[in-house]
Amino acid sequence: MTGLLGKFFSILSGAPKHGVQESKDSLNRFMAANDDPMDLSFVKRFTDGGGYFVYCGSHIEIINNLKGAAEECGESHYFIPEKNIFAWFKESGLTCVSDNPLDANAMASSCHAAIAQTGGIMISNLQTAGLKFAQLPTIHLVFAKVSQVVNSLSDGMSAINKSHRDERPKSIITLKGKLDESVMQAKVDPNKSRLIYFFLIEDHLFPEIK
């Protein structure tokens, strides 16, 4: 796992003032406490596909890692359709835009599930204000609870059916890193130019996510 650890925290490589060591310690706690292959399988496939992963075990780690990601990608204005994420960005000194994606070059959202078998992240119109995949900014910060990591796509669909019985998603898309084999082999795929930061957060720190 040594090589993998380096990639986990490369998003903070240029921002030591934001507390890289604290994040490394937290990831070690995550790996020690979660020896389920399903969790690590997702992380391995997601990072192999060019995605960036950060585990957040406390509120201060969410803020520090968010500052580090913003500094790394060079964006301070974010399109965020979901209001429950606003507080973290405001605390980090970042600007939130909720009505027009053209006002920002990056965005943030929650997700429905993270799929261990593929390293993909399921999101839908419920998290994108109904925008099509190609309309989304190419820098995307995704927030998920630990319990949202599931084994397969069918497990992800089951989770959606269970948590959104009254408001079913109209369209579901899968985010993947631009180096994912399926993305690279496809002639046309919006993921080809997409930069994804995945924040995995302990459930009690983000109870609003369904």
Return mean pLDDT, the chain: 81
Record the tokens describing residue 146, joined without a space: 């630990």
Residue 98's pLDDT band, with cuts at 50, 70 and 90, is confident
What local confidence, expressed as pLDDT, does residue 4 receive?
36
More confident site: 120 or 180: 120
Residue with tokens 């109904």: 130
What local confidence, expressed as pLDDT, does residue 121 receive?
96
Segment 138-164 shows an average pLDDT of 91
CATH number of 2-11+19-205: 3.40.50.10420
Share of the chain above pLDDT 90, in %: 43
The pLDDT tens digits for 10-62 are 433 333 333 333 445 555 555 545 555 688 889 989 999 999 998 999 999 99
The pLDDT tens digits for 75-86 are 999 999 888 898
